[in-house]
């Protein structure tokens, strides 16, 4: 054990152990770290102030221990700070990842919702547009069908009217053909046909003193025998009638000669006149319509 009064120190050989510079550098580097706690910085600065106020700290063993203690404390605090920084960084990264995952999930949900709304709007728009177009097309087709039906109806009415206008002349023509056939074939054997032809013609003529009636050889004897009846039906006196046999005439053919002219009352002529009158009547009726 040495006492200070018995120890002689060479001033040139004295070596001052000073760790203040190293400690200052370490403190400076710690200050530059953004996460370094202020409490630790204040504690380290207090150690630094205490060491600087002790002028003999470099030569005394206790001063050397304090410096070493400060440096050791700084190392320990630096290690803790690094661990805290790493832990904080991991926490920040974890929080950032969680936020990123949440943002991605929210974005996906929003994207799906937007896509669903867009699809629904597109479907609704397509349905509305399709319904409108389909309805318009159906109306156009209906109008076209109605116009076509109206045109067909008008054409059918015209055709019906034309047939109606032509039916009477057609029927008259057919009926007269039937009359011709019946009168020329079936009625040719009936002797009273010529009787009625003469009576009807006499009744239609103007009164005169004499009527010269030409008949065929086949009808001469019959009409001569029916002279009184013919005169009565014709509205004349029997004395006014005179029958002559005319070989140029056929059965049921007759000519009535008067001072005013000659009248043909043959069956064929009567049928032709009947046909003409019927045709005139049918033509007049069609014209009035």
Query: For residue range 165-188, what is the model confidence (pLDDT) as tens digits?
Result: 666 666 666 666 666 665 554 455
For the chain, give the number of residues: 289
Query: For residue range 268-278, what is the model confidence (pLDDT) as tens digits?
Result: 777 777 777 76
Closest by Cα among 215, 206, 207 to 265: 215
Cα 58 to Cα 15, 17, 55, 68, 146: the distances in Å are: 8, 5, 7, 11, 122
Provide the token pair at 287. 């014209």
Residues lower than pLDDT 70 in the chain: 1-75, 77-78, 164-192, 278-279, 281-289
């Amino acid at each position: 054990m040495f006492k200070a009064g018995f120890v002689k120190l060479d001033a040139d050989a004295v070596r001052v152990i000073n760790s203040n510079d190293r400690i200052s550098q370490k403190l400076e580097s710690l200050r530059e770290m953004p996460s370094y706690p202020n409490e630790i910085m204040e504690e380290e600065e207090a150690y630094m102030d205490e060491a600087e106020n002790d002028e003999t700290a470099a030569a005394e063993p206790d001063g050397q221990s304090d410096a070493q203690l400060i440096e050791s404390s700084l190392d320990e605090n630096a290690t803790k700070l690094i661990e805290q920084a790493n832990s904080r960084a991991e926490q920040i990264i974890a929080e950032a990842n969680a936020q990123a995952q949440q943002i991605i999930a929210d974005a996906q949900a929003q994207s799906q919702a937007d896509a669903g709304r867009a699809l629904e709007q597109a479907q609704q728009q397509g349905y509305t547009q399709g319904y409108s177009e389909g309805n318009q097309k159906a109306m156009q087709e209906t109008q076209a069908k109605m116009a076509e039906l109206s045109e067909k109806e008008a054409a059918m009415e015209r055709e019906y009217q034309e047939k109606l206008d032509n039916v009477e002349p057609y029927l008259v023509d057919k009926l007269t053909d039937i009359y011709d056939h019946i009168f020329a074939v079936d009625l040719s054997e009936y002797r009273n046909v010529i009787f009625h032809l003469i009576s009807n013609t006499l009744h239609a003529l103007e009164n005169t003193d004499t009527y010269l009636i030409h008949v065929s050889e086949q009808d001469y004897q019959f009409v001569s025998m029916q002279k009184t009846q013919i005169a009565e039906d014709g509205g004349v006196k029997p004395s006014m009638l005179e029958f002559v046999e005319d070989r140029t005439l056929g059965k049921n053919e007759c000519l009535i000669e008067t001072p005013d002219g000659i009248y043909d009352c043959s069956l064929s002529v009567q049928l032709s006149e009947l046909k003409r009158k019927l045709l005139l009547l049918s033509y007049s009726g069609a014209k009035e319509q």
